[in-house]
Amino acid sequence: MKTLVISILRIGDLLMQKPLLQSLKDQGHEVHVLMNKQFQTASELVADVVDKFFYFDRELYQKSAGEAQYNILYGSQLINELITELNSESYINIYNFTHTRLSAVLTGAIGAKTRFGAHYLQGTFHGNSSPWAEYFNTHFSAPRGSLFHYTDLLAKMFNLKVKPFEIRQRSQRNQLIFLQCFTSDKKKNWNLKNFVDLKKAIEEKYPFHLVKVLAAPQEVRELSSYFESLDIWECDLATVAMLLKEASLLIGLDTSLKHLAAIQGTPVVEINLGSADNIKTSVYSQKIWQVSSNVGCSPCAHATACPQSSHLCGEQITPQNVLNAVQEALALRANDFEQDLESDRLVWEIYLQGYSERRFQPSATYLARTLKLMEWQVRLEKALTANSRLFNVQNLQKDDVADFILLGQEILKSKSDKGAYFLKLTDALIHTPPRGDLMLRELEKAAQESRTLLKIRSDFSLGVKSGQNYGTNFEVGA
C-alpha cells in the first residue's frame, strides 16, 4: 500500500514524527516522505522507516517569487513538476503530518484515494473536524495549552499506535557526556558561563566521564571564548548522530539535537527556556529529565522576543539545578512529575474520544484541584446568566465583560488550570469579538466545554470516593 507522508517542517519535527512513520511501516505501508529540501541531510536519520524521499524546495520557490531575475512563474513550474512526479506514484493514502495551510493545499494537490489530516479540495479545507484535530488547532500553539506531546497528538489524530523511544542500556554506551549550548532563538539560550560551570561540576562529580561541547561551524568562534578548543567538537549532522548513539548523556537546549539523541536511545537532560515547552515538544523518550523555570511568563509564546527586561527564566536556573538532573539521568531514575498530568490527560481523552486507557489513581490533590475548577465553573455560569444583556450590545467594551475578564485573569494567574479546561474562555477574552452576541456565543461554547470536562472529572472523583478505579477503559456515563 503506497503511502505519502507530507512532512515539510524542520528537522526536529521530522524526528518527532519517526514513531508515526514506524507505525505506518508496521502496518505494511510502503512509506514515501515529502520533506523540505534544505533539511535533506536529515533524511538519513529516518531512512530505516522510509522507502523513498521527495524534496520540497521551499527556499528556491520563495526566492524565485521574490527576485526579479526569475521568471515570474518559475516557482509555480517547479511545483507543478514535483506534483507530476508524485502523482506518477499513484498513492493510495496521503498523511499530512505537517498540519499547516500550505501543507493542506499541497495535500489536496496530490492525487490519492484517501487523504488523512488537513487538505484543501475544491475551495474548502477538510480534515480538521475530528475532536483531536480541533484540540491540536486550539491547544497546541497556546503556551501551556497542550497536555499531550506532539507525537502523541499526531498519533491520536491519525489513529496510529506509537510508543516512546527506549533508552539503551548503560553497557551499550561510553563515558561521553555532550553539552549543546545554542538554539536559533536567543530566548531559549542559557548563559554560556553557566555551561562552563556545569562542565566543571560534572567533571568533579564524574571524573571518569569526558564532557565535550558539540558545535556547528558557526558556533565555534563564540564557544572558543569559554571553552578549551580541545573540548569543542565541531561536527555535521551525520557525525553528531554517530557520536550521540554511543554517548552517556546529552545536556542540551530546545533544538533538533535532543530529538536526535532520543531516537538513538540516549538519555537527554533538557534545559527548557523561553518558549520551550516541557510537554509538547520535549524528547519523546520512555524517561525524560528536564530543567525549566517557574517564572510567571514561562513558557512564553513562540516566535516573539522575550518580553522581560532581563532573561528571567534563564537566570533562575543554576548549574546545580542541571547537575541534579544529570545525576538522575545518569542513574536512569525517572522524574515523577508526569503523574500530576495524568488525570488531566485522562479527562481530555474521555472528552475527545469517549474512553481512556490510562491507569491513574487519583489522590487528595486531585480532589482539591477538582473543587477549585468547579468553583470557577460556577462563577462562569453565574456570569453568563447575569450578563445575558450582552446579546444586544453592538460595540462591546472591556467593561461590558469585566466579570469574565476578572475570572480569566484569576485563572491565568493561579496557574492551577494545568489541564487547560478554561483555555476557550481565556482565548475568547483575548480575541474579544466586537459584537455582544458573538462574544456570548464564544463564552457559552467555552462554558459548555469546561462544563463537560468537569463533569467527567467529578464523575471520576465520585468513583474514587466509592473506591472504584475508572482509570482503565473508563467511558462517559459508564
Report the interface residues with other proteins, using CB under 8 A: 58, 60-62, 65-66, 68-77, 79-80, 83, 101-102, 105-106, 108-109, 120, 122-123
CA separation for the pair 408, 14 (Å, rounded): 36
At its nearest, how many Å lie between other proteins and the CB of residue 85?
13
At its nearest, how many Å lie between other proteins and the CB of residue 3?
20
Q: What are the distances in angstroms from CA 468 to CA 286, 344, 361, 415?
A: 28, 18, 10, 29
| Cβ count near 297 (within 10 Å) | 14
Nearer to other proteins, 122 or 129 (CB): 122
DSSP string, 211-253: EEEEE-GGGHHHHHTTS-GGGEEE--HHHHHHHHHH-SEEEE-
At its nearest, how many Å lie between other proteins and the CB of residue 41?
18
Residue 305: CA atoms inside 13 Å, Cβ hemisphere, count?
4
CA separation for the pair 38, 58 (Å, rounded): 8
At its nearest, how many Å lie between other proteins and the CB of residue 103?
9
At its nearest, how many Å lie between other proteins and the CB of residue 88?
15
Nearer to other proteins, 122 or 466 (CB): 122
At its nearest, how many Å lie between other proteins and the CB of residue 261?
32
Nearer to other proteins, 84 or 469 (CB): 84
CA separation for the pair 20, 43 (Å, rounded): 15
CA separation for the pair 377, 448 (Å, rounded): 10
φ and ψ at 172, to 5 degrees?
A: -90, 5
Nearer to other proteins, 111 or 131 (CB): 111
Contact 351, 453 (CB under 8 A): yes
CA separation for the pair 43, 55 (Å, rounded): 10
Nearer to other proteins, 67 or 228 (CB): 67
Largest Cα–Cα distance in the chain? Answer: 75
At its nearest, how many Å lie between other proteins and the CB of residue 68?
5
Nearer to other proteins, 82 or 325 (CB): 82
Nearer to other proteins, 70 or 226 (CB): 70
CA separation for the pair 262, 166 (Å, rounded): 8
Alpha helix (H) residue ranges in 415-474: 423-430, 436-465
How is residue 145 annotated by DSSP? -
Nearer to other proteins, 40 or 77 (CB): 77
At its nearest, how many Å lie between other proteins and the CB of residue 10?
16
Nearer to other proteins, 100 or 469 (CB): 100
Contacts of 271 (CB under 8 A, 6+ apart): 190, 251, 252, 253, 290, 291, 292, 317, 322
At its nearest, how many Å lie between other proteins and the CB of residue 104?
9
Q: Nearest-CA neighbor of 419 among 355, 330, 324, 350?
A: 350
How is residue 98 annotated by DSSP? S
